Structure 1
Protein backbone atom coordinates (compact mmCIF):
# COMPACT_ATOMS: atom_id res chain seq x y z
CA UNK A 1 0.00 0.00 0.00
CA UNK A 2 1.21 3.49 -0.86
CA UNK A 3 1.08 5.67 2.25
CA UNK A 4 1.72 9.40 2.41
CA UNK A 5 2.91 10.47 5.86
CA UNK A 6 2.57 14.20 6.45
CA UNK A 7 4.37 15.44 9.56
CA UNK A 8 6.88 18.11 10.49
CA UNK A 9 10.32 16.61 10.07
CA UNK A 10 12.40 18.98 12.17
CA UNK A 11 12.40 17.92 15.80
CA UNK A 12 10.18 14.91 15.18
CA UNK A 13 10.61 12.39 17.98
CA UNK A 14 8.15 9.77 16.82
CA UNK A 15 7.78 8.73 13.20
CA UNK A 16 6.08 5.49 12.20
CA UNK A 17 7.62 5.38 8.72
CA UNK A 18 10.23 2.67 9.26
CA UNK A 19 7.90 0.51 11.35
CA UNK A 20 5.09 0.76 8.80
CA UNK A 21 7.50 -0.43 6.14
CA UNK A 22 7.75 -3.69 8.06
CA UNK A 23 4.06 -4.24 7.28
CA UNK A 24 4.92 -4.07 3.58
CA UNK A 25 3.87 -0.49 2.93
CA UNK A 26 5.65 1.98 0.67
CA UNK A 27 6.01 5.20 2.67
CA UNK A 28 6.46 8.71 1.30
CA UNK A 29 7.17 11.27 4.01
CA UNK A 30 6.73 15.01 3.55
CA UNK A 31 7.14 17.79 6.09
CA UNK A 32 4.72 20.47 4.90
CA UNK A 33 1.10 20.80 3.89
CA UNK A 34 2.04 22.49 0.63
CA UNK A 35 4.06 19.51 -0.55
CA UNK A 36 1.36 17.12 0.67
CA UNK A 37 -1.22 18.85 -1.53
CA UNK A 38 1.06 18.36 -4.53
CA UNK A 39 1.68 14.63 -4.10
CA UNK A 40 -1.24 13.10 -2.17
CA UNK A 41 -3.03 11.79 -5.28
CA UNK A 42 -0.44 9.03 -5.70
CA UNK A 43 -1.11 7.63 -2.23
CA UNK A 44 -3.67 5.00 -1.22
CA UNK A 45 -4.11 6.67 2.20
CA UNK A 46 -2.87 9.87 3.84
CA UNK A 47 -1.59 9.99 7.44
CA UNK A 48 -1.85 13.67 8.37
CA UNK A 49 -0.51 15.51 11.39
CA UNK A 50 -2.87 18.38 12.21
CA UNK A 51 0.06 20.51 13.41
CA UNK A 52 2.15 21.50 10.38
CA UNK A 53 4.70 24.32 9.99
CA UNK A 54 3.09 26.02 6.99
CA UNK A 55 -0.56 25.31 6.13
CA UNK A 56 -2.93 24.38 8.93
CA UNK A 57 -3.33 20.60 8.86
CA UNK A 58 -7.10 20.98 9.08
CA UNK A 59 -7.06 23.06 5.90
CA UNK A 60 -4.93 20.43 4.18
CA UNK A 61 -7.47 17.81 5.25
CA UNK A 62 -10.37 19.89 3.93
CA UNK A 63 -8.68 20.43 0.55
CA UNK A 64 -7.92 16.75 0.08
CA UNK A 65 -11.44 15.80 1.07
CA UNK A 66 -12.99 18.44 -1.21
CA UNK A 67 -11.07 16.96 -4.14
CA UNK A 68 -12.27 13.37 -3.64
CA UNK A 69 -12.52 10.30 -1.45
CA UNK A 70 -8.87 9.82 -0.50
CA UNK A 71 -8.74 8.00 2.89
CA UNK A 72 -7.26 10.18 5.65
CA UNK A 73 -6.18 9.41 9.20
CA UNK A 74 -5.33 12.53 11.21
CA UNK A 75 -3.00 12.83 14.21
CA UNK A 76 -3.79 15.13 17.15
CA UNK A 77 -2.04 15.96 20.41
CA UNK A 78 -2.91 13.55 23.21
CA UNK A 79 -5.91 14.78 25.16
CA UNK A 80 -6.78 17.44 22.57
CA UNK A 81 -10.40 16.42 22.09
CA UNK A 82 -11.19 19.57 20.11
CA UNK A 83 -8.43 18.76 17.61
CA UNK A 84 -9.90 15.29 17.10
CA UNK A 85 -13.38 16.72 16.60
CA UNK A 86 -12.11 19.33 14.14
CA UNK A 87 -10.13 16.70 12.27
CA UNK A 88 -13.22 14.55 11.79
CA UNK A 89 -15.26 17.58 10.79
CA UNK A 90 -12.60 18.49 8.22
CA UNK A 91 -13.08 15.11 6.56
CA UNK A 92 -10.68 12.68 8.23
CA UNK A 93 -11.89 9.08 8.34
CA UNK A 94 -10.27 8.56 11.73
CA UNK A 95 -8.21 10.55 14.22
CA UNK A 96 -5.50 9.22 16.49
CA UNK A 97 -3.78 10.74 19.52
CA UNK A 98 -0.01 11.27 19.52
CA UNK A 99 2.08 9.48 20.53
CA UNK A 100 0.54 6.27 19.25
CA UNK A 101 1.55 2.66 18.83
CA UNK A 102 2.29 1.53 15.29
CA UNK A 103 0.28 -1.66 15.78
CA UNK A 104 -2.78 0.43 16.63
CA UNK A 105 -2.10 2.70 13.65
CA UNK A 106 -1.83 -0.32 11.35
CA UNK A 107 -5.12 -1.66 12.71
CA UNK A 108 -6.82 1.67 12.08
CA UNK A 109 -5.43 1.81 8.54
CA UNK A 110 -6.85 -1.64 7.87
CA UNK A 111 -10.22 -0.67 9.38
CA UNK A 112 -10.50 2.51 7.30
CA UNK A 113 -9.60 0.68 4.09
CA UNK A 114 -12.10 -2.11 4.85
CA UNK A 115 -14.91 0.41 5.37
CA UNK A 116 -14.09 2.16 2.11
CA UNK A 117 -13.88 -1.10 0.16
CA UNK A 118 -17.30 -2.11 1.54
CA UNK A 119 -18.67 1.39 0.88
CA UNK A 120 -19.48 1.76 4.56
CA UNK A 121 -17.67 4.97 5.40
CA UNK A 122 -18.93 6.99 2.46
CA UNK A 123 -21.90 6.92 0.17
CA UNK A 124 -21.43 6.61 -3.58
CA UNK A 125 -21.51 10.16 -4.90
CA UNK A 126 -21.40 10.79 -8.63
CA UNK A 127 -21.16 14.22 -10.21
CA UNK A 128 -21.48 14.86 -13.91
CA UNK A 129 -18.92 17.57 -14.88
CA UNK A 130 -20.95 18.58 -17.95
CA UNK A 131 -24.30 19.20 -16.22
CA UNK A 132 -23.28 19.53 -12.59
CA UNK A 133 -25.97 17.01 -11.62
CA UNK A 134 -25.22 15.19 -8.38
CA UNK A 135 -26.41 11.64 -7.71
CA UNK A 136 -26.28 9.93 -4.33
CA UNK A 137 -27.95 6.55 -4.28
CA UNK A 138 -31.51 7.05 -5.58
CA UNK A 139 -31.33 10.83 -5.07
CA UNK A 140 -30.55 13.08 -8.06
CA UNK A 141 -30.00 16.84 -7.69
CA UNK A 142 -29.78 19.28 -10.60
CA UNK A 143 -28.29 22.62 -9.43
CA UNK A 144 -29.09 24.35 -12.74
CA UNK A 145 -32.82 23.61 -12.89
CA UNK A 146 -32.95 23.22 -9.09
CA UNK A 147 -34.87 19.98 -9.51
CA UNK A 148 -34.63 17.04 -7.14
CA UNK A 149 -35.68 13.49 -7.92
CA UNK A 150 -35.91 10.56 -5.53
CA UNK A 151 -36.36 7.09 -7.02
CA UNK A 152 -37.13 8.82 -10.31
CA UNK A 153 -39.96 10.93 -8.92
CA UNK A 154 -39.87 14.70 -8.34
CA UNK A 155 -39.45 16.19 -4.88
CA UNK A 156 -40.81 19.70 -4.35
CA UNK A 157 -38.49 21.82 -2.20
CA UNK A 158 -38.40 25.43 -1.11
CA UNK A 159 -35.41 27.56 -2.07
CA UNK A 160 -33.70 27.15 1.29
CA UNK A 161 -34.50 23.44 1.46
CA UNK A 162 -32.82 22.98 -1.91
CA UNK A 163 -29.80 25.06 -0.87
CA UNK A 164 -29.44 23.03 2.33
CA UNK A 165 -29.83 19.67 0.57
CA UNK A 166 -27.35 20.49 -2.19
CA UNK A 167 -24.80 21.82 0.32
CA UNK A 168 -25.01 18.60 2.36
CA UNK A 169 -24.91 16.47 -0.80
CA UNK A 170 -21.71 18.11 -2.05
CA UNK A 171 -20.13 17.32 1.33
CA UNK A 172 -21.62 13.89 1.93
CA UNK A 173 -18.16 12.58 2.92
CA UNK A 174 -18.14 14.79 6.02
CA UNK A 175 -20.23 15.99 8.92
CA UNK A 176 -21.33 19.60 8.37
CA UNK A 177 -21.54 21.73 11.51
CA UNK A 178 -24.45 23.97 12.46
CA UNK A 179 -22.33 27.17 12.44
CA UNK A 180 -21.11 26.30 8.95
CA UNK A 181 -24.69 25.85 7.75
CA UNK A 182 -25.75 29.18 9.22
CA UNK A 183 -22.82 30.89 7.49
CA UNK A 184 -23.14 29.25 4.09
CA UNK A 185 -26.91 28.80 3.73
CA UNK A 186 -28.32 31.67 5.80
CA UNK A 187 -25.26 33.95 5.47
CA UNK A 188 -25.22 34.62 9.19
CA UNK A 189 -21.75 36.00 9.99
CA UNK A 190 -22.51 36.75 13.64
CA UNK A 191 -19.24 35.91 15.48
CA UNK A 192 -20.84 34.26 18.48
CA UNK A 193 -22.06 30.84 19.45
CA UNK A 194 -25.07 29.47 17.61
CA UNK A 195 -28.15 30.89 19.32
CA UNK A 196 -31.40 29.05 19.92
CA UNK A 197 -33.24 30.87 17.12
CA UNK A 198 -30.62 29.93 14.54
CA UNK A 199 -30.61 26.37 15.81
CA UNK A 200 -34.40 26.17 15.43
CA UNK A 201 -34.11 27.48 11.88
CA UNK A 202 -31.74 24.66 10.96
CA UNK A 203 -33.81 22.02 12.76
CA UNK A 204 -36.99 23.19 11.00
CA UNK A 205 -35.44 22.85 7.55
CA UNK A 206 -33.78 19.52 8.33
CA UNK A 207 -37.08 18.19 9.65
CA UNK A 208 -38.87 19.35 6.50
CA UNK A 209 -36.30 17.67 4.26
CA UNK A 210 -36.61 14.45 6.23
CA UNK A 211 -40.35 14.60 5.77
CA UNK A 212 -39.97 14.85 1.98
CA UNK A 213 -37.01 12.49 1.46
CA UNK A 214 -37.35 10.06 4.33
CA UNK A 215 -36.03 10.39 7.86
CA UNK A 216 -32.92 8.28 7.29
CA UNK A 217 -31.43 10.47 4.56
CA UNK A 218 -30.12 13.16 6.91
CA UNK A 219 -28.32 11.82 9.96
CA UNK A 220 -27.56 13.76 13.10
CA UNK A 221 -24.10 13.51 14.66
CA UNK A 222 -24.73 14.67 18.20
CA UNK A 223 -22.83 17.75 19.25
CA UNK A 224 -21.40 18.26 15.77
CA UNK A 225 -23.91 18.62 12.94
CA UNK A 226 -25.50 16.72 10.06
CA UNK A 227 -24.51 14.32 7.32
CA UNK A 228 -26.33 13.23 4.17
CA UNK A 229 -26.21 9.57 3.21
CA UNK A 230 -28.52 6.99 1.58
CA UNK A 231 -30.64 5.00 4.07
CA UNK A 232 -28.78 1.75 3.36
CA UNK A 233 -25.38 3.25 4.37
CA UNK A 234 -24.56 2.96 8.06
CA UNK A 235 -22.47 5.97 9.00
CA UNK A 236 -19.87 5.51 11.71
CA UNK A 237 -19.05 8.62 13.66
CA UNK A 238 -17.23 9.66 16.79
CA UNK A 239 -20.44 9.34 18.74
CA UNK A 240 -23.36 6.98 18.47
CA UNK A 241 -25.81 9.25 16.83
CA UNK A 242 -29.53 8.92 16.57
CA UNK A 243 -31.69 11.04 14.34
Structure 2
Protein backbone atom coordinates (compact mmCIF):
# COMPACT_ATOMS: atom_id res chain seq x y z
CA UNK A 1 0.00 0.00 0.00
CA UNK A 2 2.61 2.56 1.09
CA UNK A 3 6.23 2.92 2.12
CA UNK A 4 6.05 4.05 5.74
CA UNK A 5 8.85 5.18 8.03
CA UNK A 6 8.10 4.45 11.70
CA UNK A 7 10.26 6.44 14.14
CA UNK A 8 9.78 4.99 17.65
CA UNK A 9 12.39 4.43 20.35
CA UNK A 10 10.47 1.76 22.29
CA UNK A 11 11.51 -1.50 20.65
CA UNK A 12 8.38 -3.42 21.67
CA UNK A 13 6.06 -0.73 20.29
CA UNK A 14 8.21 -0.37 17.19
CA UNK A 15 8.08 -4.09 16.46
CA UNK A 16 4.35 -4.42 17.17
CA UNK A 17 3.32 -1.47 14.98
CA UNK A 18 5.77 -2.39 12.24
CA UNK A 19 4.46 -5.96 12.14
CA UNK A 20 0.85 -4.79 12.26
CA UNK A 21 1.24 -2.24 9.46
CA UNK A 22 3.02 -4.84 7.34
CA UNK A 23 0.03 -7.17 7.76
CA UNK A 24 -2.13 -4.40 6.28
CA UNK A 25 0.06 -4.36 3.18
CA UNK A 26 2.47 -1.53 3.96
CA UNK A 27 6.21 -1.59 3.48
CA UNK A 28 7.63 -0.43 6.79
CA UNK A 29 11.08 0.92 7.56
CA UNK A 30 11.95 1.77 11.16
CA UNK A 31 14.19 4.11 13.13
CA UNK A 32 14.85 4.32 16.86
CA UNK A 33 16.06 7.94 17.03
CA UNK A 34 15.22 11.24 15.43
CA UNK A 35 18.57 11.47 13.70
CA UNK A 36 18.13 8.00 12.22
CA UNK A 37 14.62 8.93 11.14
CA UNK A 38 15.82 12.00 9.27
CA UNK A 39 18.47 9.92 7.53
CA UNK A 40 15.85 7.41 6.33
CA UNK A 41 12.99 9.78 5.53
CA UNK A 42 13.86 10.54 1.91
CA UNK A 43 12.15 7.49 0.41
CA UNK A 44 9.11 7.38 2.69
CA UNK A 45 5.59 8.16 1.49
CA UNK A 46 4.48 8.83 5.07
CA UNK A 47 6.21 9.15 8.44
CA UNK A 48 4.77 7.88 11.74
CA UNK A 49 6.70 9.80 14.36
CA UNK A 50 6.84 9.40 18.13
CA UNK A 51 7.08 12.62 20.15
CA UNK A 52 9.24 11.31 22.99
CA UNK A 53 12.53 10.37 21.35
CA UNK A 54 16.03 10.32 22.84
CA UNK A 55 18.19 13.26 21.84
CA UNK A 56 16.32 14.93 19.00
CA UNK A 57 12.62 15.15 19.91
CA UNK A 58 9.76 14.27 17.61
CA UNK A 59 8.87 17.97 17.44
CA UNK A 60 12.33 18.80 16.10
CA UNK A 61 12.20 15.95 13.59
CA UNK A 62 8.76 17.05 12.43
CA UNK A 63 9.86 20.65 11.91
CA UNK A 64 12.92 19.50 10.00
CA UNK A 65 10.89 17.20 7.75
CA UNK A 66 8.31 19.89 7.10
CA UNK A 67 10.96 22.48 6.27
CA UNK A 68 12.45 20.21 3.61
CA UNK A 69 9.32 18.68 2.07
CA UNK A 70 5.62 17.86 2.17
CA UNK A 71 5.75 14.21 3.31
CA UNK A 72 2.66 13.44 5.43
CA UNK A 73 3.37 13.01 9.15
CA UNK A 74 1.34 11.24 11.85
CA UNK A 75 2.52 11.97 15.38
CA UNK A 76 2.45 9.31 18.11
CA UNK A 77 1.98 10.55 21.66
CA UNK A 78 1.72 8.62 24.90
CA UNK A 79 -0.65 11.23 26.29
CA UNK A 80 -3.49 13.28 24.86
CA UNK A 81 -1.90 16.22 26.65
CA UNK A 82 -2.72 19.58 25.09
CA UNK A 83 0.93 20.61 24.95
CA UNK A 84 1.91 17.42 23.10
CA UNK A 85 -0.99 17.69 20.65
CA UNK A 86 -0.62 21.39 19.96
CA UNK A 87 3.16 21.11 19.75
CA UNK A 88 2.92 18.32 17.18
CA UNK A 89 0.39 20.15 15.04
CA UNK A 90 2.31 23.41 15.17
CA UNK A 91 5.46 21.54 14.16
CA UNK A 92 3.65 20.50 10.98
CA UNK A 93 2.02 17.12 11.67
CA UNK A 94 -1.02 16.16 9.59
CA UNK A 95 -2.66 14.05 12.29
CA UNK A 96 -1.92 12.38 15.61
CA UNK A 97 -2.84 9.23 17.50
CA UNK A 98 -2.55 8.48 21.20
CA UNK A 99 -0.63 5.40 22.35
CA UNK A 100 -1.34 2.62 22.88
CA UNK A 101 -2.78 2.45 19.37
CA UNK A 102 -3.92 -0.64 17.51
CA UNK A 103 -2.38 -1.19 14.07
CA UNK A 104 -5.84 -1.17 12.44
CA UNK A 105 -6.49 2.32 13.83
CA UNK A 106 -3.11 3.58 12.66
CA UNK A 107 -3.67 1.93 9.27
CA UNK A 108 -7.00 3.77 8.94
CA UNK A 109 -5.32 7.11 9.65
CA UNK A 110 -2.53 6.33 7.20
CA UNK A 111 -4.95 5.39 4.43
CA UNK A 112 -7.04 8.50 5.04
CA UNK A 113 -3.99 10.73 4.67
CA UNK A 114 -2.80 8.94 1.54
CA UNK A 115 -6.22 9.36 -0.05
CA UNK A 116 -5.75 13.10 0.22
CA UNK A 117 -3.05 12.81 -2.42
CA UNK A 118 -5.05 10.61 -4.78
CA UNK A 119 -6.02 11.97 -8.23
CA UNK A 120 -9.31 13.86 -8.14
CA UNK A 121 -10.10 13.97 -11.86
CA UNK A 122 -9.79 16.77 -14.41
CA UNK A 123 -10.75 20.40 -14.18
CA UNK A 124 -9.25 23.69 -13.10
CA UNK A 125 -10.76 26.01 -10.52
CA UNK A 126 -9.91 29.70 -10.78
CA UNK A 127 -10.51 31.48 -7.49
CA UNK A 128 -9.12 35.00 -7.46
CA UNK A 129 -5.38 34.74 -8.00
CA UNK A 130 -5.45 31.05 -7.11
CA UNK A 131 -5.57 28.31 -9.73
CA UNK A 132 -6.44 24.82 -8.49
CA UNK A 133 -5.87 21.94 -10.89
CA UNK A 134 -7.94 18.99 -9.65
CA UNK A 135 -6.30 16.63 -12.14
CA UNK A 136 -2.77 17.07 -10.88
CA UNK A 137 -3.81 18.35 -7.43
CA UNK A 138 -1.55 21.35 -7.81
CA UNK A 139 -2.12 24.92 -6.70
CA UNK A 140 -0.59 28.09 -8.05
CA UNK A 141 -0.96 31.77 -7.26
CA UNK A 142 -0.22 34.39 -9.88
CA UNK A 143 1.06 31.40 -11.94
CA UNK A 144 3.61 30.49 -9.26
CA UNK A 145 3.26 26.99 -7.72
CA UNK A 146 2.47 26.68 -4.02
CA UNK A 147 3.81 23.63 -2.16
CA UNK A 148 1.04 22.16 -0.01
CA UNK A 149 0.87 18.98 2.04
CA UNK A 150 -1.82 16.45 1.09
CA UNK A 151 -3.94 17.64 4.01
CA UNK A 152 -3.61 21.30 3.08
CA UNK A 153 -4.42 20.44 -0.54
CA UNK A 154 -7.56 18.54 0.34
CA UNK A 155 -8.71 21.26 2.74
CA UNK A 156 -8.23 23.98 0.12
CA UNK A 157 -9.93 22.01 -2.66
CA UNK A 158 -12.88 21.15 -0.42
CA UNK A 159 -13.45 24.76 0.57
CA UNK A 160 -12.80 26.20 -2.89
CA UNK A 161 -15.20 23.72 -4.50
CA UNK A 162 -18.01 25.17 -2.37
CA UNK A 163 -17.37 28.93 -2.43
CA UNK A 164 -19.07 30.96 0.30
CA UNK A 165 -20.51 27.82 1.95
CA UNK A 166 -19.85 27.72 5.68
CA UNK A 167 -18.45 24.46 7.06
CA UNK A 168 -18.29 23.62 10.74
CA UNK A 169 -15.08 22.21 12.15
CA UNK A 170 -16.75 18.83 12.55
CA UNK A 171 -17.84 18.82 8.90
CA UNK A 172 -14.27 19.58 7.83
CA UNK A 173 -12.91 16.87 10.13
CA UNK A 174 -15.16 14.35 8.41
CA UNK A 175 -14.54 15.59 4.86
CA UNK A 176 -10.80 16.25 5.00
CA UNK A 177 -9.40 14.19 7.88
CA UNK A 178 -12.07 11.45 7.58
CA UNK A 179 -12.70 11.41 11.31
CA UNK A 180 -16.21 10.01 11.68
CA UNK A 181 -16.49 10.84 15.38
CA UNK A 182 -16.60 14.03 17.44
CA UNK A 183 -12.97 14.75 16.80
CA UNK A 184 -10.36 17.30 17.74
CA UNK A 185 -11.14 20.71 16.23
CA UNK A 186 -7.50 21.71 16.74
CA UNK A 187 -6.65 19.64 13.65
CA UNK A 188 -8.89 21.93 11.61
CA UNK A 189 -7.78 25.20 13.19
CA UNK A 190 -4.12 24.32 12.78
CA UNK A 191 -4.68 23.13 9.20
CA UNK A 192 -6.38 26.41 8.35
CA UNK A 193 -3.59 28.41 9.98
CA UNK A 194 -0.92 26.60 7.96
CA UNK A 195 -2.92 26.88 4.75
CA UNK A 196 -3.43 30.61 5.21
CA UNK A 197 0.30 31.10 5.72
CA UNK A 198 0.83 29.71 2.21
CA UNK A 199 -2.07 31.09 0.14
CA UNK A 200 -2.99 34.43 1.71
CA UNK A 201 -1.30 37.76 1.04
CA UNK A 202 -1.97 38.63 4.67
CA UNK A 203 -2.81 35.59 6.84
CA UNK A 204 -4.06 37.91 9.58
CA UNK A 205 -6.70 39.30 7.18
CA UNK A 206 -7.54 36.26 5.05
CA UNK A 207 -9.24 36.69 1.70
CA UNK A 208 -9.60 33.07 0.69
CA UNK A 209 -10.07 30.97 3.84
CA UNK A 210 -12.28 33.09 6.06
CA UNK A 211 -13.50 32.52 9.59
CA UNK A 212 -17.22 32.69 10.34
CA UNK A 213 -17.27 33.30 14.07
CA UNK A 214 -19.32 30.82 16.02
CA UNK A 215 -19.70 28.50 13.01
CA UNK A 216 -16.50 27.57 11.16
CA UNK A 217 -14.83 28.43 7.88
CA UNK A 218 -15.71 29.30 4.29
CA UNK A 219 -13.94 30.13 1.02
CA UNK A 220 -14.58 33.77 0.10
CA UNK A 221 -16.53 35.84 -0.76
CA UNK A 222 -14.01 38.16 -2.34
User: Taking structure 1 as the reference length, what is the TM-score of the superposition?
Assistant: 0.53
Give the match for residue 201 of structure 1.
Answer: none
Number of paired residues? 151
Give the match for residue 46 of structure 2.
Answer: 45
Give the match for residue 103 of structure 2.
Answer: 102
Aligned partners of 1:13 and 1:4: how far apart in 2? 11
1:15-34 matches, within 5 Å, as 15-34=16-35
CA distances 1:183-222 after superposition (whole Å, capped 9, x unpaired): xxxxxxxxxxxxxxxxxxxxx9822xx4xxxx21x556x9
Q: Are the equivalent residues in 1 in contact too, given 2:8–2:14 (CA < 8 A)?
A: no
Give the match for residue 156 of structure 1.
Answer: none
CA distances 1:68-118 after superposition (whole Å, capped 9, x unpaired): 111111011233122112111111111111111211111000000011225
Aligned partners of 1:124 and 1:34: how far apart in 2? 38
SS in 1 for 2:204: helix
Aligned partners of 1:25 and 1:99: how far apart in 2? 20
The answer as to 2:112 corresponding to 1:114 is no
Aligned partners of 2:79 and 2:139: how far apart in 1? 36
Q: Are the equivalent residues in 1 in contact too, given 2:131–2:140 (CA < 8 A)?
A: yes
Q: Name the larger-Rg structure.
A: 1
Give the match for residue 149 of structure 2.
Answer: none
Q: Are the equivalent residues in 2 in contact too, given 1:89–1:175 (CA < 8 A)?
A: no
SS in 1 for 2:111: helix
Structure 2 unmatched runs, 5+: 121-129, 133-137, 145-189
Q: Are the equivalent residues in 1 in contact too, given 2:62–2:92 (CA < 8 A)?
A: yes
Give the match for residue 141 of structure 2.
Answer: 138
Give the match for residue 62 of structure 1.
Answer: 63
1:136-215 matches, within 5 Å, as 137-139=140-142, 175=193, 206-207=204-205, 210=206, 215=207
Q: Are the equivalent residues in 1 in contact too, given 2:14–2:30 (CA < 8 A)?
A: no
User: Taking structure 2 as the reference length, what is the TM-score of the superposition?
Assistant: 0.57
Q: Are the equivalent residues in 1 in contact too, given 2:131–2:141 (CA < 8 A)?
A: no
Cα deviation for residue 46 of structure 1 reads 0.5
Q: Are the equivalent residues in 2 in contact too, given 1:91–1:175 (CA < 8 A)?
A: no
Give the match for residue 86 of structure 2.
Answer: 85
Structure 1 unmatched runs, 5+: 126-134, 142-171, 182-203, 223-239
Cα deviation for residue 49 of structure 1 reads 0.1
Q: Are the equivalent residues in 1 in contact too, given 2:7–2:34 (CA < 8 A)?
A: yes
Cα deviation for residue 136 of structure 1 reads 5.0
Aligned partners of 1:5 and 1:109: how far apart in 2? 12
